[in-house]
Each structure stands twice: as structure tokens, then as C-alpha cells.
Structure 1
């Protein structure tokens, strides 16, 4: 069985909220994510990490493009990179890309479907919707106390 996960992360990968702000934003996310039926509540996981973690869109990822040369970045290279940093996270977002050997930030890679990097995440499992609209994202950011981005994963 597959799952869909709609994640909300801070726009700044290094930023983390306090508990009260996280609780407010998670409660709002629960309101905005409709239930599958009358008996099921949407499952929401709130996570804090010591290091920056990759927030993946999994099978939604179609391609990655380099911001320096506009070349394609091989998805196998990306998978190996992610596997190497899965347990300990990332201490820096700087990376040497394989396409042109240039140095750039992971945040600047162009992911086709959005992916992100964060030390904090609200993950809504099987939310019975896809993206939040701009007004909903702004409300989630206000509840959290920091602008947010969203990632939609199919696992």
C-alpha cells in the first residue's frame, strides 16, 4: 500500500519553532486536511531534528536540474547522496554537483516536484488533498511564526 504525505517546512532550513508555535501550526494543518471519512482522523507527525534533513517527494521526483549549468543531475547520484546523509543529516547545504563540478547550495537545485531541507517538519499522512493554496500556506506560516514551504510526497 502506498501513502501520500503533505509536509510543511520552514522556508529557512535551519529555523525551528518553539513547542507552542508548532502545536498551533499542527492544529491548523489538521483543520485544513480533510478526513478520509467520518471515522478516520488525519495522522500528523511533528518532527524536530538536530541537523538539516532532506524532505523528499519520493516517487513524485521526476528530475533535478543544476542551477549553474542547467544540466540534468542524475537521479542515481542524488539517491546515493541522500542515502549517505540519511542517518546523520546535513551539516552544510553546500554541494559539488556532478554535471559541471560546480559548487552550489542544495537549496538552489531545481527539483521537479518540490523537495526541501529542514530541521522542523509537520507531516500530514494521507491528507485527502494535494497542495495548500497561498492563503492556507500564509496562515500556516503565521501560526508557526515563520514563512513555510510545502512538499507533497508519494511513498
Structure 2
């Protein structure tokens, strides 16, 4: 069986909210992503990660491109970079991209579908919707106290 997870993370990968803000934002997310009509409510996980954590889109990942020169980036190179940084707790996301030799962040690569890094995450399991609208994300961000973005994973 596969699952879909709609995650909301801060745009600043290092930022973490306090418990009250996290609970407010998760409550709004629950209202915006209820389970199927007459069914069980969706599961929502609120997680504070000790170190930066990759929040990826799972099987939805189609391609990655360089934000500097727009050249496609080989997923094997990307996986190697993720592996190295995972082993050191993501102490840095800075990379030299192989296409143009420029310096950027793993968080700033152009992912199709979105991926990101975070120390805080609200994960909604198997929501009955694909994405939050910009207005809905702004409402969640206001409750959380920090701008947010969303990632939809298929696992």
C-alpha cells in the first residue's frame, strides 16, 4: 500500500516554532485537509527534528535543475550529496553544482516536485486534496509565525 503525505515546512530550514504556534498551525491544516466525507480524520504528525532533515517528494520527484544555469542535475549526483550531508547531520547545504561550477544550496535546487529541508514539519497523511492554495498557506504561516512552503510526497 502506498501513502501520500502533504507536508508544510518553514521556508527557513533552520527555524522552529514553539509548541503553541505549532498546535495552532496543525489545527488549521487539519481543518483544511479533512479526511474523506463520513470517514476517519487524516493523521497529522508534528515533528521537531534535532538536525536538518530532508523532506522530499518520494516517488513524485521527476527532475532536479540548477537554479543558476537551469541545467538538469543528475539524480545520482544529488543522491550522493544527500548521503554525504545526511551522514554529517546536514551541517551545511552548500554545494558546488556539477553543471556550471556555481555555488548554491541543496535547498535552493529546482525540484520538480518540490523538496526541502527543515527542522520542523507538519505532515498530513493521505489528505483528500493535492495542495494548499497560496491563501491557505498564508493562513498556516500566520498561525505558525513564519513563512511556509509545501511538499507532497508519494511513498
Structure-2-length-normalised TM-score: 0.92
Match of 1:128 in 2: 128
CA root-mean-square deviation: 1.5
Q: Deviations for 1:35-76, whole angstroms, at most 9, x for unmatched residues?
A: 124241201111111221111011111111112232211112
Q: Tell me what 1:116 maps to.
A: 116
Q: Counterpart of 1:29 in 2: which secondary structure?
A: helix
Q: Runs ≥4 in structure 1, deviation > 4 angstroms?
A: none
The change in CA–CA distance for 1:99 and 1:5 in structure 2 (over 3 A counts) is same
2: CA distance between counterparts of 1:12 and 1:108? 11
**Which stretch shifts more, 49-58 or 15-24?**
49-58
Partner of 1:2: 2
Counterpart in 1 of 2:20?
20
Pairs aligned (count): 155
| Alpha-carbon contact 1:59-1:153 (below 8 Å) kept | yes
Question: How many Å apart are 1:109 and its aligned residue?
Answer: 0.8
- For structure 2, the 5+ residue unaligned runs are none
**How far apart are residue 34 of structure 1 and its match?**
1.9
- 1:83: Cα distance to partner? 3.4
TM-score of the two chains, using structure 1 as the length reference: 0.92
